[in-house]
A and B are shown apart, each in its own frame.
Chain A
Amino acid sequence: MRLADEAATLALGVRIAAVVRPGDVIALFGDLGAGKTTLSRGLLSALGLEGEAPSPTFAIVQPYVPPETRIPVAHIDLYRLDDAAEAEELGLDDLLEDHVLLIEWPERLGDALWPDALRLTLIRTDDGARCLTAAVPKAWEDRWPLT
């Protein structure tokens, strides 16, 4: 899928928000500046977040809960982590019980990334647009491609 600009990336986040449920994991792959946080922002805003959704790089786990958002969402950025063992300390499994996990830099989880995570990869094209590739697990088969 081609995302022409920032607005298109935000809009995709909005469309994902329409089908997301607690217990879902969305893994956002892509280099610095690929648009991972932009997509997350579109999703959070469509879930009702009125305040800003700052980059979670520093906080690592940025939780949003009702009434701020329609359902609980943990916006997670593993950029500053060294390995999967550290990620284990974050207690993401516990969060998954009632949150949507939106994970940037999921590479850091290695094999520990949940098999039923929706894996989205954002790549910058030469003309400044973004190319999105989705690896769709069983849990998402009835929801992807988005309508």
Chain B
Amino acid sequence: MAIILGIESSCDETAAALVTSERHILAHKLAGQEEAHRPFGGVVPEIAARAHVDALEPLIAAALDEAGLELADVDAIAATAGPGLIGGVMVGLVTAKALALAAGKPLIAVNHLEGHALTPRLADPALCFPYLLLLVSGGHCQLLLVEGVGRYKRLATTIDDAAGEAFDKTAKLLGLGFPGGPAVERAAALGDPKAVKLPRPLLGSAEPHFSFAGLKSAVLRARDAQTHSAEDIAAGFQQAVIDCLIDRTKRAIAVAPGATALVVAGGVAANGPIRAALQQLAAAHDLPFSAPPLWLCTDNAAMIAWAGAERFALGLTDPLDVAARPRWPLDPEADKVRGAGVKA
């Protein structure tokens, strides 16, 4: 059994965790804001590299303490090396390098998105490759075929806004309060999803991608028309997002017949109606449905430690001069998609 120390500092969170190759989370420590305030991946970003520096060392010490371990007991040290705000990423990565050098342990540079992609396997031991992953958060909206560790095929991505961002901005536009995701969900429960006609960008389109910017603009127009309640607009908005997510995921299922399960991860998976619709879609295609617990869906260090454990098991470690990367696509081979309407 291997024990991996995971470090996350790519944008909104500073966190450290200890996870074993046997799927035991021995400790998880998260700095800063309450998780409840950031359901879609963060609304209070931690910009300051200095704040990550201040937080990280005590977090690692506390994690080791909670697990009753010394650094010497750890088998490898994994840290997010991107994508993310470069200042924060460098703090986590340099800390990991220093610990790896001092303790003579291997370093594993983890792609933050790989953490999200593999974490469903931490939560669900029955989940096998390949599986279809819908990653929906404040910063991402992607459909990935997870074929194995380090083998990701991006089937679709958003060409503009992420789904969680659309929720946050809709809440803001309708004055529904904060945090945006749950606020829209609550308002939507009181509204009529059919009352306001809102667009479903790219629905039924031959191209596989997502787009939510136009929906945001339509919410703005509906608000300014002053003919409908905020609840009806919220309900219409939420239904439009559901219809888009389902349509695009259905398309992905069709082009990935080998997938063994439909998995949803990311803060938006906390939305009840969205989750229910995806569950129904999976059932209709005879696919098992899996969703990690919410705290593992939002940014955390357990997912980095777990991705580290998966890579470590395959002997995938990194040299100490590995660089931090502000942008780091999971699938560099993915088809290029221009923004809607952009002509070459």
A and B are interacting partners: yes
The interface of chain A, by Cβ under 8 A from chain B, is 6-7, 10, 32-33, 37-38, 41-42, 45, 50-55, 57-64, 80-81, 86-87, 89-91, 124, 128
Whether B216 and A32, one on each chain, are in contact in the complex, defined by CB atoms closer than 8 angstroms, is: yes
Chain B residues near A80: list those with CB within 8 A: 42-45
**Known contacts A50-B336, A58-B162, A89-B47; A42/B342 CB under 8 A:** yes
Whether B11 and A59, one on each chain, are in contact in the complex, defined by CB atoms closer than 8 angstroms, is: yes
Chain A residues near B326: list those with CB within 8 A: 61-63
**Known contacts A32-B169, A50-B338, A128-B221; A59/B85 CB under 8 A:** yes
Chain A residues near B42: list those with CB within 8 A: 58, 80
Stretch at the interface among B54-62, B152-160, B185-193: B152-160
**Chain B's interface: helix, strand, loop or mixed, by majority?**
loop
| Cβ contact of A33, chosen from B85, B216, B341, B343, cutoff 8 A | B216
| Cβ contact of B160, chosen from A55, A87, A91, cutoff 8 A | A55
Question: How many B residues face the partner with a CB closer than 8 A?
Answer: 46
| Cβ contact of B48, chosen from A10, A59, A86, cutoff 8 A | A86
Say how far B90's CB is from chain A's closest CB, in angstroms. Answer: 11
Whether B165 and A81, one on each chain, are in contact in the complex, defined by CB atoms closer than 8 angstroms, is: no
Closest to A59 in B: B139
Say how far B4's CB is from chain A's closest CB, in angstroms. Answer: 26
A-B contact pairs, 15 of them (CB 8 A): A6-B341, A10-B343, A33-B217, A41-B339, A50-B338, A52-B159, A57-B169, A58-B11, A58-B41, A62-B326, A80-B43, A80-B44, A80-B45, A86-B47, A91-B87
Whether A89 and B162, one on each chain, are in contact in the complex, defined by CB atoms closer than 8 angstroms, is: no
Q: Which 3 A-B pairs have the closest CB atoms?
A: A58-B139, A41-B339, A89-B48
| Cβ contact of A45, chosen from B48, B157, B162, B342, cutoff 8 A | B342
Binary interface encoding of chain B residues 12-55 relative to chain A, with 1 for a CB under 8 A from any of its CBs, else 0: 00000000000000000000000000000111110111100000
Q: Contacts A33-B216, A45-B339, A61-B85 given; 19 further ones with Cβ under 8 A?
A: A10-B341, A32-B220, A38-B339, A41-B160, A50-B338, A51-B337, A52-B157, A52-B160, A52-B336, A52-B337, A54-B159, A54-B161, A58-B11, A58-B42, A58-B140, A59-B83, A63-B86, A89-B47, A89-B50
